[in-house]
Structure 1
Amino acid sequence: MSKFVDQFDMYMKAHEAFKGGKNAEGLKATLFLLANGIVKPNARELYELWESSVYGGCGSEELFLTMLDLGMIPQILRDAKAGSFDILTEFVDAVARLDKDTQYKVLKAV
């Protein structure tokens, strides 16, 4: 198999792991792809992985903070505002749990 196919399979396995409640396994695959992969998840794809973790019973705080560190949360909120996709209330709740300065930076960027 090609490296691209292997990494796409890793991306899909990350979804399955998050949905199965195996956040550590899903996060490991996701961080590998972000650091080394040909298949580098964009903001929406990372949100969808995080959404899978919520459906798995426990939203991945580590993945949420990774999206925050990468500056992807404003893009997710802009896309949702534009109607590209719907976001879960758990995502809004996670943004609301951020400290006030970080919330301000995120919302200002939207």
Structure 2
Amino acid sequence: MTKFLEQFDMFMRAHEAFRAGRNAEGLSATLFLLGNGIVRPNARELYELWESSVYGGCGSEELFLTMLDLGMVPQILREAKAGSFYVLTEFVDAVGRLDKDTQYEVLKAV
């Protein structure tokens, strides 16, 4: 199997792990892909992984904070505002739980 296919398979396994409630396993695969992978998830794909973790019963706070650190949360909100896709209310709630300064920076960027 080529490296690309192996990493794409890892990406799909991350989705499955998050949906099954195994956040640590899903996060490990996701962070590997972000750091070393040929297959590097973009903002929407990371959001979809986070969404899988919500469907798995517990939204991954670590994945949300990773998206925040990478500056992807404003991008996700902009795309949702433009109607490209819908975000879960849990995502908006996660933004609401951020400290006020961070909330301001995120919303200003949207």
* TM-score band, normalised by shorter chain: over 0.9
Count of residues in correspondence between the two structures: 110
Q: TM-score, normalised by structure 1?
A: 1.00
Q: Which runs of 5+ in 1 are unaligned?
A: none
Q: Deviations over 1:70-102 (max 9, x none)?
A: 000000000000000000000000000000000
Check if 1:19 corresponds to 2:19. Answer: yes
Q: TM-score, normalised by structure 2?
A: 1.00
Distance 1:75 1:5 in 2: 27
Amino acid at match of 2:83: G
Distance 2:25 2:84 in 1: 29
Distance 1:80 1:39 in 2: 23
1:19: Cα distance to partner?
A: 0.0
In structure 1, what is the equivalent of residue 104 of structure 2? 104
1:35: Cα distance to partner?
A: 0.1
In structure 1, what is the equivalent of residue 33 of structure 2? 33
In structure 2, what is the equivalent of residue 55 of structure 1? 55
In structure 2, what is the equivalent of residue 42 of structure 1? 42
Distance 1:83 1:109 in 2: 17
In structure 2, what is the equivalent of residue 78 of structure 1? 78
Distance 1:3 1:83 in 2: 34
Q: Once superposed, which parts of structure 1, at least 4 consecutive aligned residues long, lie more than 3 Å away? A: none
Amino acid at match of 2:31: L
Distance 1:40 1:13 in 2: 14
Distance 1:80 1:3 in 2: 32
